[in-house]
Each structure stands twice: as structure tokens, then as C-alpha cells.
Amino acid sequence: MEWTFVGDKTLEGKEAVRQWMATTYVEPPKFRVANLIAEGDFVTALGDITIKDEDGKAADYSYCDVWRFRDGKIVELRAFVIKTEVKDNTMNKPEHH
């Protein structure tokens, strides 16, 4: 299996993926899948993910994962992950005097 974080790194093999997950995830991430799209050997998932860091602080991301299968097994994952910022609209409101 090859897992590519587009613009970042590529993990080769199941063991590399397991080690990365063990050191990266303090607790399992929370996924929200908005859409699943399947065509041929490919499945694409679109959604949002929340990951907690070592201090327990949550960070939100939007993702698009493109999975490729062969003989019913995952052989490749290309993950496009973008950190999303929560916009505080109170910063843009005019002050009332």
C-alpha cells in the first residue's frame, strides 16, 4: 500500500501506515463523510475531519481521499487535506457606541 499526503509525504507499506497512525493520533480522529463517489477501482471520499493534538486541542480539516483498490484490497490512497479556520464574525462587525 502507498499512502500519499499530497504536498507532504508518502508512506510505503502497511507497517509504515500503522507506525504513522500510532504516533500521530492521540485518539482516533472524527470523520464526517459528505460524499462517496465510486468508479471502477476508485472510491473518493469528501468530508471533514477533527484531530486532537498532544494537548487535547482539536483542529479541523477538510479532506478528499482517493482510494484505489485491487482484488478487493486498498493499494493506494492519495489524501488531500486542508486545515480549516473557524471564522469569528465578531471581528468584522462595526462597533456600536
In a domain, 93, yes or no: no
What DSSP string describes the chain?
A: -EEEETTS-EEESHHHHHHHHHHH-SS--EEEEEEEEEETTEEEEEEEEEEE-TTS-EEEEEEEEEEEEETTEEEEEEEEEEE-----GGGGSPP--
Tell me the three state secondary structure of residue 24.
helix
65 within some domain: yes
pLDDT band at 54 (very low <50, low <70, confident <90, very high): confident
Domain count, the chain: 1
Residue 95 lies in a domain: no
pTM of the model: 0.77
The answer as to whether 96 is a domain residue is no
pLDDT band at 96 (very low <50, low <70, confident <90, very high): low
CATH number at residue 71: 3.10.450.50
Q: Which domain holds residue 12?
A: 2-85
pLDDT-derived band at 89 (thresholds 50, 70, 90) equals very low
Phi and psi torsions of 32, nearest 5°: -125, 115
Query: What pLDDT is recorded for position 37?
Result: 98
pLDDT in tens, 16-34: 999 988 888 878 899 999 9
